[in-house]
Structure 1
Amino acid sequence: MKKSELVDALAEKAGLSKNDAKKAFDALTEVVLGAVAQKQDVELGSLGKIKVVHKPAGTARNPATGEQMQVAAKDVAKFTPGKALKDAALGNA
C-alpha cells in the first residue's frame, strides 16, 4: 500500500477529508521521527513498537572484496511488530 492509498483509507475509515487525513498522517510521521531522533521508544498500539538500539563498533566483511573493515558505533531504529500485526500477517485476524 502506497502513502496515497493509506491516506485515502484513513480518510474513509475516520470520516475525514483526504486533506485532513494527509495532514494527520504527516503529523504522525513527524512526531515519530522526532521521538526517534531523541532516542525515545514509540509505541504504536497493536501495530508494534519502534525502539532505538545502540549498535557497538565492530568489524565487518565487504562482500564484494572479502576485505575486513571497521564499522563505527551507531544508533538504529528497530521495529517490533505487535500481536495484532503478527496475527493479521498470518491470516489469524
Structure 2
Amino acid sequence: MTQKPMTKTQLVAALAEKTGTDKKSANATLEALAEIVSTEVAAGGAVTLPGLGKFACRARPERMVRNPATGEQMKKPADRVAKVTIAKALKDVINA
C-alpha cells in the first residue's frame, strides 16, 4: 500500500489533463494556489480547499523539550505551526 508520493511534475501533468489546459498553465495555477495559501496562513488566517481540507496557522506555547541525543531538557520558545484538517469528503473517499 505504500507507494511513492506524486511529484510536482506528475501533479502538473494530471492537472493539465483534467482541466484540458497545457502544462505551463497548470503549473502557473498550482504555484499561484500555493502562494495564496502560504500568504494567508502566514498572516494568521485560514484557507479551506473544498473536498481537501482546511489550512490554518496555530500558535504553540513555550514548553520544555528533551534533546534525544543527550537527554538534556531545555525550554523551547513559543512558535507558530501550520495545521491541516482533512475534509470529511476526503476521509470518506479514503475509507470507502
- TM interval, shorter chain, is over 0.9
Residue among 29, 39, 46 paired with 2:44: 39
What is the TM-score when the length of structure 1 is the normalising length? Answer: 0.93
In structure 1, distance between residues paired with 2:52 and 2:88: 7
Structure 1 unaligned regions, length at least 5: none
Taking every aligned residue pair, what percent have the same amino acid on both sides?
47
Give the residue type in structure 2 aligned to 1:14: T
Residue among 1, 7, 13 paired with 1:2: 7
- What does the per-residue CA deviation read over 1:33-75, in whole Å, with 9 as the maximum and x for residues that have no partner? 1111111111011100011111000101111111101101011
What is the TM-score when the length of structure 2 is the normalising length? Answer: 0.90
In structure 2, distance between residues paired with 1:82 and 1:37: 21
Aligned residues: 91
Structure 2 unaligned regions, length at least 5: 1-5
Q: CA RMSD in A?
A: 0.9
